[in-house]
Structure 1
Amino acid sequence: MHKLPFIIALFSLSVVQPALAADSLTTKAKVAQKQEQQHNAQREAEFVQQQQTLAARKSELQQRKAELDASIQSLSSAFTDNERTLAEQQKKLHLETGSLGELFGVVRQSAKELQIELEHSVINHEQAEHLTAINSIVAAKTLPSIHQLTGLWQAYLSQISSGATYSEVDLPFVSGSGEMMTINAIRLGHFALLSAHGPISWDGQLASDFPRLPNSVPTSFEAAGIVTGQTATQLDPSRGDIYQQLADTPTLTERFEHGGVVGKIITALFVLGMIIALYRAVVLLSTQHTITKQLKTADTPKDNPLGRVLSVYHREKQLHVEALELRLLEAIMDEQQHLERGLSMLKLLAALAPMLGLLGTVTGMIETFQVITQFGNAEPRVMAGGISMALVTTVLGLVSAMPLLLAHNLLSSKAEAIRNILERQSVGLVAAQAEAQTMERKEAYAA
């Protein structure tokens, strides 16, 4: 009886709690739905505002495009009108100017040539006014005026007349050591400047000495005689170009230096060979002279090749003919060895010189190819050193070999001629000895 109320209360609690939970969930769902509706409404408002902004921007751009299209159309029409007007004006200008355009081109070209001429001429300091007028014609973009044409004509007249005059001028001068000074010089026409020590170079602003001059050159002291024709001399009419080419032409010593070490070796061998050739030539000529004297006194042998052969004959003439012939042949061979001494070395040097020249050629070409590898072949001056060495050594080798070969041939012929004399004399002695022995045998047989 006491448990029944408790059970009833527990049952009532179990029925009421689910109903309360369902009411709570419904309330939460309604709140969430309301919040979502508010958020969607806010987003829709933002979308509508953005759509209105873009529509306004689109309208603005369309209006701007229309304005630009109108401006383009206007500019295109103006450009077409300007082109038509320009073509008409050019046609009108061409009709009005006629051949003046070609004349202007000729005038400008002539003025440019005269400008270059005066800038480097020895009289440019005397024609500064004319040079200013010429510069204005060269720089002009329109047809020259009559004043400018008159100035050009006067400049030509002055240039022509100055070629027949000479005068004394003071010029800025730079010495070989770089020292600046002012010197007095004589101007001959418009192509030469003479100082107290000879012709000087003029680059339009400074005077300087030429790197190299011929042995006999005129000086300022001879200017009056040159003009009047009393002094005969040589002048460079090219304003120093010939003197510059003379400076670029190497001397014999400079060419020898281009040969390098191989060239020096070839020269040393050539000098050695010529010393040997001269010494052997003196010896052979002296020997031939003594042999000529010995032929006149065959009975009194002296200290010379023929005398020594005769000494062997007088010493060994009691031998049989065959033995005597061998003795004389031995003596001739000894003399031949002395006669041909040094000729083999001369022949070797003659053969060695062109081989060394070829070696120098190959060495120079190797150097040239190395330079080409490093710097390319655009600048010939860079390769000139190796090519010069190659050519100079070849020339030195050939020039050295030819006289050495000639000397060897002449000396060999001279030695052969002396040996022929010795052989001829020895054959004669053997023949005389054979006849004597034959007569002795005949006399002995007859007795």
Structure 2
Amino acid sequence: MTFASLSCLSAVSHAQDALTLDDLLNQLEQGQITQTKQNQARESQFKSKVNQQQDMLNDMSYQRDNALVLSVQLEQNFADNEIKLANKAEALDKRLGELKELFGVLQQVSGDTRSKFQTSVISAQIPGRGQFLDEFAQSMGSSSKLASIAEIERLWFELQREMTQSGKVTTFNREVVLANGDRNNAAVTRVGGFNLISNGKYLEYIDETGTVAELIRQPSNRYLASTSDLVNSGGNTTSFALDPTGGSILSLLVQAPDLKERVDQGGPVGYIILAIGLVGLLIALERLISLVFIGSRVERQLKSAVASSDNPLGRVMQVKDNNPNLDTETLELKLSESILREVPKLSKRLTLIKIISVVAPLIGLLGTVTGMINTFQAITLFGTGDPKLMAGGISQALVTTVLGLVVAIPMVFIFAYLNGRSRNIVNILQQESTGIIAERAESAELAQSQTLAGQGA
């Protein structure tokens, strides 16, 4: 609140206390006199500060003039320094001569070597090599500093040490990050500059963190077996599956799916094919055991003249024994009937195996069509930019076809083999039946000739 407002409020307050108009007039006169004095005081104070403000303005103008003069001088000095730097750079280039090309080569070599050390497994055993190369490359990138003899010799030493260590198989102790995330100090074997192994598993070197980690997914057992052979070789020559690319081939082998994952790619159709194949295999196994058992009994019956009811041949022979007085034609019919009764027992469920051998590839074709439908749906939704989006459908299409053929091809051979054994037993029954008929016919003919001879006598 300003002083004038306070004066007005005071006047109003006094006015309220006034009893007559004269008192009110006197009060207003006194308030006006007081306000006039205050205004004069403020005006006097403002006039007294005008000189001070003028002095400040003059001072700022002086500083501005000096700054302008300094700016002109600095611009001139900058231009002169540019000319001097250009002259000195030209003189430096002339003095360097071929050394300039040498330093350029050194800078390039140091950069390439740093990139090599980032992926080299040798850095797991010899850490800290990249720091020197980074500093050396940065210093070489600046024109103000040239490489010293010691730095050049250090670069040569690092290159020579990399080549020397690439031809050695050494074992050292260091911390290893396991697949489950735990850390453990273990003996790590380095095979040149190619691979790191520990406890029969492949490791990888991570330059960003400077750690050695166990591969979350290991290659197949035939590659892991070589790691144990190397560790237990005792310095002798042994075979080892190394990756000459420094990890690229190993990463591809790790990504390759195993047998279970291949089957999983087939989806429900693949499992149906495998279930049908398992049923066919069980049936084939039961038929094989049964036919082998029956065949052995038939072979034993062939060596015996006494008919036994525990095998098809014995039951056929019992027909002859049970009907000694039948004529040849009737006996032949009864033997044929007996053989026909034995054929279904010998060939039962073989037709089911044949059906499985035909149905399995058809179901695989169904899975192929289903997988291609999924592939085209992915193409419709996401386009063809990312092949991984189509990989699932293509995998299902190919795996189901493979599973269908894997089931069908053995089933064809199994059916042919079992059907052949069944037919062999049936052929034996038919041969023996033919022999029985021939024997009965011969006996009847001999009896008839004897009868005619007796009548003639």
- Bin the TM-score by the shorter chain: 0.5 to 0.7
Is the contact between residue 357 and residue 407 of structure 2 (CA under 8 Å) also seen in structure 1? yes
Whether 1:212 aligns to 2:215 is: no
- Distance in structure 2 (CA, Å) of the matches to 1:164 and 1:287: 66
The one-letter code sitting in structure 1 at the alignment partner of 2:113 is L
Q: Which residue of 1 aligns with 2:159?
A: 156
Q: Which residue of 1 aligns with 2:417?
A: 410
Matches within 5 A, 1:170-319: 170-171=174-175, 173-179=176-182, 181=183, 183=185, 185-186=187-188, 188=190, 189-195=192-198, 198-204=201-207, 205-210=210-215, 211-213=217-219, 214-216=223-225, 218=227, 222=231, 229-230=235-236, 232=238, 234=240, 236-238=242-244, 239-319=246-326
Question: Conserved in 2, the CA contact under 8 Å of 1:361 and 1:390?
Answer: yes
Distance 2:422 2:331 in 1: 24
Between the aligned partners of 2:138 and 2:359, the Cα distance in structure 1 is 69
Match for 1:414: what amino acid? R
| Counterpart residue type for residue 252 of structure 1 | L
Residue 429 in 1 paired to residue 431 in 2? no
Kept in 2, the 8 Å contact 1:284–1:415? The answer is yes
Report the counterpart of residue 378 of structure 2 in structure 1. 371
- 2:331 maps to a residue whose letter is L
Q: CA deviation at 1:350?
A: 0.8
Q: 2:128 aligns with which of 112, 126, 136?
A: 126
Structure 2 distance, partners of 1:230, 1:270, is: 47
Verify the 8 A CA contact 1:115 1:131 in the aligned structure 2: yes
Quick one: distance in 2 between partners of 1:442 and 1:373?
92
Paired AA for residue 116 in structure 1: S
Provide closer, same or farther for how the CA distance between residues 442 and 216 of structure 1 changes in structure 2, counting only shifts above 3 A: closer
Identify the residue that residue 146 of structure 2 maps to in structure 1. Answer: 145
The one-letter amino acid paired with 2:425 is I
Q: Deviations over 1:343-383 (max 9, x none)?
A: 11111011111111111111122222222222222222332
Q: Deviation at 1:175?
A: 3.7
Q: In the alignment, residue 207 of structure 1 is paired with which amino acid? A: V
| Identity level (%) | 33
5+ residue gaps, structure 2: 1-85
Q: CA deviation at 1:232?
A: 4.0
| Distance (whole Å) between structure 2 residues aligned to residue 118 and residue 423 of structure 1 | 82
Q: Is the 8 A contact 1:236 1:242 kept in 2?
A: no
Quote the offset at 1:241 in angstroms: 3.7
Displacement of 1:290: 1.3
Change (3 A) 1:128 1:428: closer
Cα separation, 2, equivalents of 1:235 and 1:142: 47
**What SS does the corresponding residue of 2:378 show, helix, strand or coil?**
helix
SS at match of 1:125: coil
Deviation for aligned residue 1:288: 1.8
C-alpha distance in structure 2 between counterparts of 1:169 and 1:297, whole Å: 77
Q: Distance in 2 between matches of 1:119 and 1:313?
A: 91
Q: CA deviation digits over 1:291-341, x for unaligned, max 9?
A: 122122234343211111111122234223222211111111111111111
Superposed CA deviations along residues 46-83 of structure 1, whole A, max 9, x for unmatched, are: xxxxxxxxxxxxxxxxxxxxxxxxxxxxxxxxxxxxxx
Q: What are the superposed Cα offsets for residues 101-155 of structure 1, whole Å, 9 maximum, x if unpaired?
A: 8767655543332121112334262314432244316x82769934365554343
Are the counterparts in 1 of residues 202 and 218 from structure 2 also a CA contact under 8 Å?
no
Which residues of structure 1 form unaligned runs of 5+?
A: 1-85
**Kept after mapping to 1: 8 A contact 2:273/2:403:** yes
Asked whether the 8 Å contact 1:200–1:209 carries over to 2, the reply is yes
Mapped contact 1:133–1:152 kept (Cα < 8 A): no
Partners of 2:103 and 2:147 within 8 A in 1: no
Q: TM-score, normalised by structure 1?
A: 0.68
Q: Which amino acid aligns with 1:208?
A: A
For the aligned residues, what is the CA RMSD?
3.6
Distance in 1 of aligned mates of 2:146 and 2:251 = 41
| Pair 1:301–1:187, CA change in 2 (3 A) | closer
CA distance in 2, matches of 1:143, 1:374: 57
Q: Provide Cα deviations, 1:374-432, integer angstroms capped at 9, x if missing partner.
A: 22222223322222222221111111111111111111111111111111111121122
In structure 2, what is the Cα distance between the partners aligned to 1:251 and 1:270? 20
Size of the aligned set, in residue pairs, is 353
Aligned equivalents of 2:419 and 2:404: distance in 1?
22
The whole-number CA distance in structure 2 between the counterparts of 1:382 and 1:108 is 43
In 1, the alpha carbon distance for the partners of 2:103 and 2:305 equals: 103
Distance 2:345 2:184 in 1: 72
- SS at the partner of 2:340? helix
2-structure distance, mates of 1:94, 1:377 = 54
Matched residue SS, 1:303: coil
Does the CA-based 8 Å contact 1:298-1:310 persist in structure 2? no
Q: Distance in 2 between matches of 1:333 and 1:126?
A: 88
Q: Report the Cα distance in structure 1 between the residues aligned to 2:113 and 2:346, rounded to whole angstroms.
A: 76
2:276/2:360 contact within 8 Å kept: yes
> Structure 2 vs 1, CA of residues 312 and 92 (structure 1 numbering), >3 Å: closer, same or farther?
farther
> What is the rounded CA distance, in whole Å, between the counterparts of 1:323 and 1:170 in structure 2?
93
Aligned to 1:136: 138
Provide the TM-score with structure 2 as the length reference: 0.67
- Alpha-carbon distance change, 334 to 97 in structure 1, aligned in 2, over 3 angstroms: farther
